[in-house]
Amino acid sequence: MKHIKYILLSAVVLGFTACNDVEDVLEANGETVETTMLPALNAGDLDFSNYIAVGPSFSAGVSDGTVFLASQENSWPNIMSKEFAKAGGGEFRQPTMSDNFGGLALGGTRIVGPRLVFNGSGPAPLESVIGPVTVTTDILNNPEGPFNNLGVPGARSFHFVAPGYGNIANVALGAANPYATRLTGSTPNASIIELAAAQNPSFFTLSLFGGNDVLGYATGGADQAADQITDLATFEAVLDIALTALTANGADGVVSGTPYVTDLPYFNAVPFNAVPLDETTATALNGGYAAYNGGIQAALAALDGTGFFTAEEAEQRTITFAAGQNAVVIVDEDLTDLGAINPVFAALPKYRQATAEDLLVLTSASFIGTLADPNNPLSVNGVAVPLADKWVVTELELEEIINATDAMNMSVQAAAESYGIAYVDLQAILTQASTTGIVFDDYTLDANLVTGGLVSLDGVHLTARGYAYMANSFLLAIDNHYGSNFVASGNVAKAGDYPTNYSPMLE
């Protein structure tokens, strides 16, 4: 077992330099360069004087695992508000953090840790690189609202209409979100939607409304102990409450669907065949699983032809290792319960080796290869000890997540049509990023961890450049629906103005 190596997420941060605009090279070699004049910005009848953004962590500007000053400045609603300002948009207020470390404290006690940074090999906690820091954003000293950015990290759809979700007295009870407490001010029991409606928005965005309704289930490996997917009836009811409130005074706006969260690097950075073995170790492991494999064959002999247990499943459940890269061993709760069919086989667990269709969550990288029993060098997690359901999204669980996402997106799109507002298809955007990549000015962004440029070090939330692309996607949807011309007039975020990685020394 000593030959089994730990997984290392190694990557090289690519340093990008933005290409100059045409105007910057007019003097080069004394040459004359013809430029195309863009039309003037025309927002038509849209009123951006009081823009309100509602949504979960993407709206709040979460990046590298938390919220901090720089990530808030580069949140996509704040980026978009800068373009709105060119068309009469007003001040865009955010509940700004106190530092660039990230994290939250409650009465001086840390309750959310600082951000992640790149340590030369992969994502790492900030303090492992620069040493201990003091998280200075304390929710006992929240800023005064009201705020235009009502993004709440971790909030699910029904949380946005829940009274008391931002009441600091409920935090210790687990009934409130510490980030939401920074928004409620003198009305601690007001819901987030009530806070938004009370400001009488002239324009609003409601983004990724179903994101956390699916994400928590997925990041928990679709385990029964994980946050379960919100049922569609509840989601649709809450969506209608939110849009009714936001449009009550005639505000225009944009809503977005939710991408397939399993397209994110959080679910694709750790390979299914993450176990390197030499021939000696592989042989020893095969000997260790010989009794289990024999039991599977005995069950097949007894049950074959009954329709309860097939040769195909028996092959799927047979575990073998060879020299080289090997698939991890997992517990798959969807396999046949052989003991329920015949008590003789009650001792046979639901084990199999992972396939390319199984998605290992990012946190499994630091778990695979460790010892389940520190005193037993043979108890290697992911090899001799199968990975529990919480570490893996299986093919059947992935189908469940995709179906739920599709249903929610259909509801959001139908609601957009019903309320006469714009819709952004974020699902299509992330799918493209995870396959061919997306072109943003002089850069191509993809969904690879660390090097892709789109998704930050936590594997879920976007980089500043990713948020800039998201802002432009909303501006394009506004143009297409309302007849404005932000994109055609060049009033959009420029990729080179936004980084893909924050320095560990950022304070």
Residue in the block written with tokens 């010892």: 371
- pLDDT class of 28 with cuts at 50, 70, 90: very low
Extract the tokens encoding 268.
């694709």
Mean pLDDT of the chain: 92
Cα dihedral across residues 481, 482, 488, 490: positive or negative: negative
CB–CB of 71/62 below 8 Å? Answer: yes
Listed in sequence order, the DSSP H helices in 289-394 are: 290-303, 311-317, 338-341
Tens digits of residue pLDDT in 85-123: 999 999 999 999 999 999 999 999 999 999 999 999 999
Tens digits of residue pLDDT in 44-75: 999 999 999 999 999 999 999 999 999 999 99
CA contacts within 13 A on the Cβ side of 188: 13
Phi, psi of 221 (to 5 degrees): 70, 20
| pTM: predicted TM-score of the whole model, two decimal places | 0.91
| % of the chain exceeding 70 in pLDDT | 93
What lies within 8 Å, CB to CB, of 257 at 6+ separation is 208, 210, 408, 409, 412, 413, 423, 424, 425, 426, 427
pLDDT at 305 over 50: yes
Tens digits of residue pLDDT in 466-486: 999 999 999 999 999 999 999
Classify residue 254 by its DSSP letter. Answer: E
CB–CB of 326/276 below 8 Å? Answer: yes
Residue in the block written with tokens 């030499």: 278
Write down all domains in the chain, each with its CATH number in brackets: 39-268+396-497 (3.40.50.1110), 275-353+359-393 (no CATH)
pLDDT at 26 over 50: no
Q: What is the pLDDT of residue 224?
A: 81
- pLDDT class of 317 with cuts at 50, 70, 90: very high
DSSP structure string for 370-397: SBSSTT-TT-BBTTTBPBPGGGEE-HHH
- Tell me the CA distances in angstroms from 29 to 2, 296, 299, 503, one per residue in order: 63, 76, 80, 36
pLDDT at 8 over 60: no
Tens digits of residue pLDDT in 484-499: 999 999 999 999 999 9
**Strand, coil or helix: 211:** helix
CB–CB of 458/12 below 8 Å? Answer: no
CB–CB of 166/181 below 8 Å? Answer: yes
Give CA–CA dist 117/263, Å, rounded.
22
pLDDT mean over 455-475: 98
Q: What is the pLDDT of residue 2?
A: 42
Query: In one letter, which amino acid is 407?
Result: A
Tens digits of residue pLDDT in 396-435: 999 999 999 999 999 999 999 999 999 999 999 999 999 9
pLDDT at 371 over 80: yes
Residue in the block written with tokens 């329709």: 307
Give CA–CA dist 278/282, Å, rounded.
6
Q: Considering only 5-14, 196-205, 431-440, which range has the smallest mean pLDDT?
A: 5-14
